[in-house]
Structure 1
Amino acid sequence: MNLTGKIVILTGVSKGIGRATAEALLAQGAVVAGWGRTAPEGLQHERFHFIACDVREEVAVQEAYVNTRRKVGEEIHVLINNAGVGIMGAVDGFAADDWRTMFDTNVHGTFYCCRAVLPQMKKQQLGHIINVASLAGTVGSETMAGYCATKFAVRGFSQALFKEVRHDGIKVTCVNPGSVETNFNGATPGAAPNPHKLQPEDVAATILHTLESPAGVLVSEVEVRPLQPRK
């Protein structure tokens, strides 16, 4: 897909992978409707539109979709479900509210957003949905049971959805990054990039590469790892 002039909805736009992806899309000529609870600081561009949205709330997603179409028009070419949260801890001491927060954001939010855009994409017979999951959705890890469960769910949802909508001309890709240097789980990125982790820009570049695949090609899943991780 040539991204010039294409309309992209991108969730979790305020920082990390979302912010980097918004900047990469804008550089390629896309129009970006960035959904998030807070606006990305300092991101000003004539083709960027911030739409306040908490993807955990079904009504909020519906309202954000209406507001997006008011700003950018009827057609929606790309949806990138990037909003996500990770809370770590042992299962026997894990707070039920934290468990629900992860599922509401990572799983239910992805469903709400996909359901919102699919009727228009089917009408167009064109669209690309990218769900950002994680390598934690491919193998379980201690103290990450809840997060792993949500990302396994996103992968399963993505695999089912691509089979459901591929004949409507809609692509669905699940992107599974490894360790990324972001504010995820309360971490603070260092002043200098950590050579043992992926950078948000690396994941953004992978997302764009997938979006720019030939029209007749469906990349259903991508795993992204740092080349030289810490031993």
Structure 2
Amino acid sequence: MDIQGKVAIVTGVSKGIGLETVKQLLAEGAIVAGWGRTSPKLEDTNFHFFKTDVSDWENVQSSYKATSDKLGKASVLVNNAGMGYQGLIHEMDVAEWKEMYDINVHGLFYCIKVAVPSMIELGEGHIINISSIAGTSGIKTMSGYVGTKHAVRGISHSIFQELREHGIKVTTIYPGSTNTNFFDSIELANANDNMMRPQDVANSIVQSVQTFPNYHVVDLEVRPLWPKGNPNK
């Protein structure tokens, strides 16, 4: 898709992969609606922030209407908003478990639900869903988060079959460890320079969107080459 002048919605834009994706979409000429609880420190005439809690269905509907009224129909949706808690299954806090599913799964559904009708009208669209390596396997003490990311994968694989006839692509990205604030509340690891850079993940997202209309990137798994550091240094 040629994204010059096209409207793109990105969720979870305050920092990390979401913010880097916004910057790169803007650099390619897109008009970007940033949805999130906190506005990023970013000023650009083509960037518009809409305060949004993706876990709130009413709020998502309001944000999409405000986005459409101000910018027009969105051709791109990047579902980046997500979070995780760590804990053994029998010790997991019920409220934290529910919050993960409300944001990572229900929020994904809400955003797709509001965006797809306009994409069908346009006859084109691209939905990028950010899963995780955790969406392909199990991780001890991360069952709740892993479950949400498996759900993202299953939803994505199903809806791409529903939407392809309308010219809408659905791509799922599975990043490995990325140097973002995600690890601030996770004991498995601390964010460090051996992890991937969020701007590189964002670059893969934008490149997937810019592919030829009949070329569909369904799944894209990305990992750090040297997760424990370059052995040659």
**TM-score normalized by the length of structure 1:** 0.95
Displacement, 1:186? 2.1
- Superposed CA deviations along residues 55-94 of structure 1, whole A, max 9, x for unmatched, are 0000000000001012102x21100000000111111111
Displacement, 1:185? 4.0
- Superposed CA deviations along residues 92-118 of structure 1, whole A, max 9, x for unmatched, are 111000000000000000000000011
The aligned amino acid for 1:132 is: I
Alignment of 1:93 onto 2:88: no
**What residue in structure 1 maps to residue 113 of structure 2?**
115
Structure 1 vs Structure 2 CA RMSD: 1.3
The aligned amino acid for 2:23 is: E
**What residue in structure 2 maps to residue 140 of structure 1?**
138
**What residue in structure 2 maps to residue 21 of structure 1?**
21
The aligned amino acid for 1:2 is: D
1:216 to 214, 217, 226: 214
- Residue 86 of structure 1 contacts residue 185 of structure 1 at CA under 8 Å; is this kept in 2? no
Separation in 2 of the partners of 1:123 and 1:77? 10
**What residue in structure 1 maps to residue 163 of structure 2?**
165
**What residue in structure 2 maps to residue 12 of structure 1?**
12
Deviates more, 1:149-158 or 1:208-217: 208-217
Alignment of 1:61 onto 2:60: yes
Displacement, 1:187? 5.5
The aligned amino acid for 2:133 is: L
Separation in 1 of the partners of 2:83 and 2:193? 23
**What residue in structure 2 maps to residue 47 of structure 1?**
46
Alignment of 1:80 onto 2:78: yes
SS at match of 2:81: coil
**What residue in structure 2 maps to residue 202 of structure 1?**
200
- Residue 179 of structure 2 contacts residue 193 of structure 2 at CA under 8 Å; is this kept in 1? no
SS at match of 2:55: coil
Q: What is the aligned length?
A: 225
Label 1:187 to 1:180 Cα distance change in 2 as closer, same or farther (>3 A).
farther
**5+ residue gaps in structure 2?**
none
- Superposed CA deviations along residues 185-226 of structure 1, whole A, max 9, x for unmatched, are 4259xxxx9442011101100101101111111111100101
The aligned amino acid for 2:166 is: D
**What residue in structure 1 maps to residue 154 of structure 2?**
156
What percentage of residue pairs aligned between the two structures are identical? 47
SS at match of 1:77: strand
The aligned amino acid for 1:202 is: D
Separation in 1 of the partners of 2:90 and 2:56? 28
- Residue 85 of structure 2 contacts residue 185 of structure 2 at CA under 8 Å; is this kept in 1? no
**5+ residue gaps in structure 1?**
none
Separation in 1 of the partners of 2:68 and 2:184? 33
Alignment of 1:178 onto 2:176: yes
